[in-house]
Amino acid sequence: MTPPHDLLLLDNADVQALLTHDDTLRCVRHAFEAHSNRSGRTFPLVRESLGGQTVFGIKSGDIAADQALGLKVAGFWPANRALGKDAHQATILLMDPATGRPLGLFDGNHVTSMRTGAAGGIGIQQLARPDSRRLCLFGSGVQARIQLDYALRVCPSLTQVDYVTAQGQPSPVLEELFSPRCSITHAPDADTAVARADIVVTATPSRQPLFSRAAVRPGTHINAVGADTKGKRELPEGLLEQALLVVDDIAQARQLGESQWAPDCALQEIGTLLPDTGWQRPAEAITVFDMTGIALQDLTVAQSLYTLAGAHGRGRRLAWP
């Protein structure tokens, strides 16, 4: 382990070299369990507009039993695209809870993508029918790709993917990435694709419903990824009231997630379904996992990266007096 008087720096290349899909799944599962059994805490969220579509946010928390404390500063800067840079920006600070000293400063972009993909994978493992064969994907960007990646990893029965794009045009990049792993087809009509699907994944920045309520069949599972800010919405009116609605954090989902549009719906946290409770999915239920992303996901992954970097000699260490 890096001594407390050193500050470990991990750039994007270091994070990508160290972080595996399996490690991320393990970390995110632990984060959800710690959050729901209250051995971990999430502190008040900061998410503020800086004008236009630019958003600045801070997510922080701790898990005392793991001696884990830290925060992620992240947001959305759309003007970055014109500069050839990623519009999503994130940086993670891992701290020593005993002294308050910084232990590590990590690029958070890849962590955010991976931990969100892993959360979607856990949602599918716990809430989708195990014999699911067809998935409908909304979006073709970075988060849509990582969601599909994890879905195919955790649900081997998936063989067919229909994807819907905002422009209504096929994505050759998406098809090239995933055609070796599944049969993937562009779907020009959203409702038709949803009606055929066992699993629906929405990973867009939309502020209006992407499909109609009537298109969703009994037994369908939906991972709602895109709504993470007030005003965002991907699911149609009336769906949540008829679904078994699961979230990562109840208060945050009501504030920022799809659940902001259904304030009277009963919510259940995904962490309560992970231990061996004997819970089983009702076969004909429509299930929705409303994903807003919690600080403990970033924190557990950051701790794992800190340990892995020490074991593999990755990153730079700076004296931090």
- Decide: residue 128, CB within 10 A, 0-12 exposed, 13-18 middle, 19+ buried: buried
Predicted local distance difference test score (pLDDT) of residue 4: 53
Q: Give the separation between CA 206 and CA 195, rounded to whole angstroms.
A: 20
Predicted local distance difference test score (pLDDT) of residue 277: 67
Q: Quote the longest CA-to-CA distance of the chain.
A: 61
Place of tokens 């090239």: 176
Q: In the chain, what are the domains? A: 6-112+296-319 (3.30.1780.10), 129-293 (3.40.50.720)
Predicted local distance difference test score (pLDDT) of residue 291: 95
Distance of alpha carbon 135 from the chain centroid: 17
* Residue 203 near residue 143 (C-beta atoms within 8 A): yes
* DSSP letter (8 states) at residue 214: G
Backbone angles phi, psi at 158, to 5 degrees: -70, 125
Q: Give the separation between CA 208 and CA 271, rounded to whole angstroms.
A: 29
Q: 180: pLDDT confidence band, cut at 50, 70 and 90?
A: very high
Q: 174: pLDDT confidence band, cut at 50, 70 and 90?
A: very high
CA-CA-CA-CA dihedral for 142, 117, 92, 312, to nearest 10: -100
What is the rounded average pLDDT of the residues 37-44?
95
Residue 228, SS3? coil
